[in-house]
Amino acid sequence: MIQHNATLVLGAGQLGMAVLRNLAPRVAKGRLSVLLRASTIASTDPDKQRDLAELRALGVGLVEGDLAQQSPEALAATFRRHDTVVSCTGFVGGPGVQRKIARAALDSGVKRYVPWQFGVDYDVIGRGSPQDLFDEQLDVRDLLRAQRATEWIIISTGMFTSFLFDPAFGVIDLAANTVHALGSLDNAVTLTTAEDIGALTAEILCAQPRIANQVVHVAGDTVTYREVADALDRLLDRNVTRRELPVPELMRALAAEPGDAMRKYRAVFAQGRGVAWDKARTFNAARGIAVCSVEQWLREHRDDIRSARS
């Protein structure tokens, strides 16, 4: 239980909702809030209204703010009223916003900041990768590591499991019955579901002794593209086509459309650095916390997958 800490979560999308659902029972009443844009709070969209109703039922306070539009000073003034800030917004607002949010968190003097770094291992990937936004993630790490006043935790989760199967990513093409392996069939990728990231984030924030100033790795599963194709074969009872997309081919595709975010992601994952780690050496394995494997995720989504193929 986080007793006296006021905790502010930034964003209530797929990840923010999962984090809030898991934090709500563990944070003292009236001490958990979420920052959302005024337009989101006033939205008439039924999905948004459903989420807002769920948040109110959980006792989560709604705080108005706009991470893209507001100045660092204005954001710091909002953050200052809390002890822990957890950013769940993704690459909201484009270049520069991750640095701005981190700067605001440090200037506000919050006790603890968890940046939006729920993804790959940026330290291992390093600067100058095909995904230029990753350099900004390293700038944020530099800012956090250069100070001692605010504790920080970075939670490395790998890719969201659902993202691997998102047709827009272009890896699993169920309509064409094909797996496009990034780099090679033997390249691996670490995957964690948003629900597990929510549960593990709450566990990490409440851990005793306190976890601070470190990168924590978690993993739902670490699998090669060949293993993903094999799992699809077992699940669908047929052979999916396996096609390797070598790094040079993906780099040429990126050069043809340098602003295309998915081409950047495909190229960086194909390089195979910092995108996969041993599940046995993770926070969840060390604590014996059950997580969703790729096989389990596929079984749970079998019907969606079948309909996507037809």
CB of 119 to ligand NAP, least distance (A): 4
Q: Which is nearer to ligand NAP, 13 or 272 (CB)?
A: 13
Residue with smaller CB distance to ligand NAP, 14 or 177: 14
Q: What are phi and psi of 272, to 5 degrees?
A: 75, 15
> Shortest distance, CB of residue 285 to ligand NAP, whole angstroms?
20
**Min separation Cβ 43 and ligand NAP, Å:** 7
**Closer CB to ligand NAP, residue 77 or residue 236?**
77
Specify the residue, 19 or 232, whose C-beta has the smaller distance to ligand NAP. Answer: 19
List interacting residues with ligand NAP (CB under 6 A).
11-16, 36-37, 40, 66-68, 88-93, 119, 159-160, 163
Decide whether 45 or 300 has the Cβ nearer to ligand NAP: 45
The nearest distance, CB 167 to ligand NAP, in angstroms, is 13
CB of 152 to ligand NAP, least distance (A): 19
